[in-house]
Structure 1
Amino acid sequence: MKKIIYILSIALAFVSCKKEVTKDYVTLSGTIINQNSDSLVVAQRGIIKTLKVNADGTFLDTLKVEAGSYILFDGVEQAKLYLKNGYDLKVSIDTKAFDETLKFTGNGSEANNYLAKKGLLSEKIVDYAGILKMDKLSFNKRIESNKEEFLTLLKTTKNLDSTFIKEEEKQVEIITKQLGMMYSEKEAILALKGKASPKFVDYENHAGGLTSLDDLKEKYVYIDLWATWCGPCKAEIPFLKKVEKEYHGKNIEFVSISIDRENAYETWRKMVTDKELTGIQLYAKGDKTFTEAYKVTGIPRFILIDPQGNIVSADAPRPSDSELIDLFKELSI
């Protein structure tokens, strides 16, 4: 009898050992060729975890997550990930061709290889600047074509989680809707051309006193809407200085309007001084009437007004864009 019980105990133990235990964490490992740094960052709304990368480019770590989208950042490049506890993902990347060589194997690889392919497809077919310049019919056709390509990629990828599929379908719809809204905004902005410009009144001038748009009549006015916290705005500063210098003394005024909040007033004054910003430097002091009239939803935004106070372009080329000088030449400024 004891022998039978002993044998049954061994059998039960064997069955218990064979039972698969679901991990409550993600395992991330892999190899990076031509690594950009000695670490990788997994982030969502903030940094979730920093993974150490060895000198030979290998890495291995674990982390607990809520199922969803994350970013893998190597200090220079980044990739979108879909992580779920229980995944055991192996990553391989050559940073010389980051997007093209990004590959995943192991549990969870299907969704992440799909995301890598989606990224490449997006680079290939999505040209936001070009799409927004199309006529309405061409725009609609292009949007539908892009939507179909993304959904085809999703449908032909096997072994995807149903929740993941629903979220991706939702994202395609959101992007399609956002592009439609962007196109409508662009049409509204283009419709402003030739109309009398909305006015700003009594904005604080860094050089002293108050300045209004009416004070600048009889010259072209090139307006830069910016803020001290805006990286792309600050990236335009060297280009704007160069253009201002080239057109100094000509029939044009260069006006930079800070739309910083009032608690950043001193930051604005200091930055104008420290960076030796040229042109007319104004502070809106929380006033939104001018930006709202120009339908501003993002900065930097550049506006060109003619000597009669009419709008030449409500969304003029940036100083870093060679089209700006072409426009100035066309207007004989």
Structure 2
Amino acid sequence: MKKSFLITLITFCSIYSFGQSKNAITFQAEIANRNGDVIYIKDAKNKTVKEIKINDKGIFKDSFEIEKEDFYIFFDGVEYTQLFLKNGYDLKLKMDAKKFDESIVYTGKGAAENNYLAQSVIKEGQITPEKLASLNEDEFKKMTAEKQLTEEYFLNKSKLDKTFIEIQKRNIAMNIKGLQRYYTESKAVQKLNNVMAPKFNYVNHKGGTTKLEELKGKYLYIDVWATWCGPCRGEIPSLKKIEEKYHGKNIEFVSISIDVQKDFEKWKKFVSDKQLGGTQLFADNDWNSDFAKSLNITSIPRFILIDPNGKILNAGAERPSSPKLEELFDKLLNLQ
């Protein structure tokens, strides 16, 4: 996947459609609040190798064969999730695209493996940057060791497909390495607290540009994100709620997109379609923007809290979905 908190490296194989046969995979779904009219099955190089059209009721059904059972990506044009496919599977998916990962439920042959994958994403999301940063080295080692042992024990005791178990064990080991790397980065981020925030001057969705200096005088809660980032989009409902709660208070909500320049129009449309609030900005050089590099931003979403004088209070602040964030805001704004 791209640079997001969940770090998973997966080996894929190509998928080919030979039409329906006795050995074909049957894949059908009922999707509420769909994001588009087509579902894409993608390979390791992000190449679309299978397209499935969705009707106006959010329903599709298709059949195809694969060369080898393996992991794939299910992409609806906005969100994506992992799939494990094997010839002979009869998968039925029901989900709400607005809630996506949290709403995914499979039934039919192959459901056990794919429900496991869907639940794994939710569990990984519970290991937040804030939680990692709060651990000392011994606590982190204990947490990751227990995590790996628990997940491998479950797989060994399960009746899941043997190929699936083999691949997933490799993924678990790589996820642990990813967490170790992210833990090191989280500790480095902590060192940025209590220093002056780096300046920026970025394009504003409402027109013109906005500088950091123009926002001084208020607390700033900055969300660094991108339209392609699933965990970023997952925080949007919570961010909207917290913006509404503190509307008119001495705090400004600023979202900085680090989408690449070619996706500028996509960003503009996304902000408008999703009716995103606060101050919506577009960074000048995606991951290589000075603001992102100065704050050691190598994964997103990333939330930064800045005081009214421009000093960083927390370079790795709580996410909008965390109850601790409202407790902090109430304390800062004397609302307790």
Verify same fold: TM over 0.5.
yes
Aligned equivalents of 1:207, 1:79: Cα separation in 2: 36
The 3-state SS of whatever aligns with 2:24 is strand
Q: Does 1:198 pair with 2:201? A: no
Question: Match for residue 304 of structure 2?
Answer: 303
1:168 and 1:30, CA in 2 relative to 1: closer, same or farther beyond 3 A?
A: closer
1:221 and 1:311, CA in 2 relative to 1: closer, same or farther beyond 3 A?
A: same
- Alpha-carbon shift at residue 125 of structure 1 (Å): 6.8
1:319 and 1:151, CA in 2 relative to 1: closer, same or farther beyond 3 A?
A: closer
1:239–1:320 Cα contact (<8 Å) kept? no
The 3-state SS of whatever aligns with 1:128 is coil
2:224–2:301 Cα contact (<8 Å) kept? yes
1:49–1:63 Cα contact (<8 Å) kept? no
Question: Match for residue 5 of structure 2?
Answer: none
- Alpha-carbon shift at residue 177 of structure 1 (Å): 0.9
Q: Which amino acid aligns with 1:198?
A: A
Instruction: Pick the structure with greater CA Rg.
Output: 1
Question: Match for residue 239 of structure 1?
Answer: 241
- Alpha-carbon shift at residue 260 of structure 1 (Å): 3.8
* Aligned counterparts, 1:91-130, within 5 A: 102=107, 104=109, 115=113, 118-119=116-117, 122=120, 127-129=126-128
* Alpha-carbon RMSD: 5.1
Q: Which amino acid aligns with 2:24?
A: T
> What does the per-residue CA deviation read over 1:94-126, in whole Å, with 9 as the maximum and x for residues that have no partner?
99xx9888464xxxxxxx577358548848975
Q: Which amino acid aligns with 2:23?
A: V
**Larger relative contact order (C-alpha < 8 A, sep ≥ 6)?**
2
1:226–1:299 Cα contact (<8 Å) kept? yes
Q: Which amino acid aligns with 1:167?
A: I
Aligned equivalents of 2:205, 2:74: Cα separation in 1: 42
Question: Match for residue 221 of structure 2?
Answer: 222
Aligned equivalents of 1:282, 1:60: Cα separation in 2: 40
Aligned equivalents of 2:292, 2:253: Cα separation in 1: 17
Question: Match for residue 63 of structure 1?
Answer: 65
- Alpha-carbon shift at residue 289 of structure 1 (Å): 1.1
**Alignment: residue pair count:** 289
Structure with the higher fraction of residues in helix conformation:
1
Structure 1: segments with no counterpart, 5+ residues: 1-23, 53-58, 105-111
TM-score by length of 1: 0.61
* Aligned counterparts, 1:180-195, within 5 A: 180-193=180-193, 195=194
* Aligned counterparts, 1:1-333, within 5 A: 26-28=23-25, 43-45=41-43, 46=48, 48=50, 50=52, 61-70=63-72, 80-83=83-86, 87-89=87-89, 102=107, 104=109, 115=113, 118-119=116-117, 122=120, 127-129=126-128, 132=132, 135-136=135-136, 137-156=138-157, 166-193=166-193, 195-204=194-203, 211-227=210-226, 232-233=232-233, 235-236=236-237, 238-239=240-241, 241-243=243-245, 245-247=247-249, 250=250, 252-265=251-264, 279-286=278-285, 288-319=289-320, 321-332=322-333
The 3-state SS of whatever aligns with 2:247 is helix
Aligned equivalents of 1:124, 1:276: Cα separation in 2: 25
Structure 2: segments with no counterpart, 5+ residues: 1-20, 33-37, 55-60, 96-102
Aligned equivalents of 2:274, 2:28: Cα separation in 1: 43
1:155 and 1:214, CA in 2 relative to 1: closer, same or farther beyond 3 A?
A: same
1:224 and 1:158, CA in 2 relative to 1: closer, same or farther beyond 3 A?
A: closer
> What does the per-residue CA deviation read over 1:220-275, in whole Å, with 9 as the maximum and x for residues that have no partner?
2222334456674593564365246241xx3x344343434334455656777788
Q: Percent identity?
A: 29
1:322 and 1:65, CA in 2 relative to 1: closer, same or farther beyond 3 A?
A: same
Q: Which amino acid aligns with 1:132?
A: L
Aligned equivalents of 1:320, 1:274: Cα separation in 2: 21
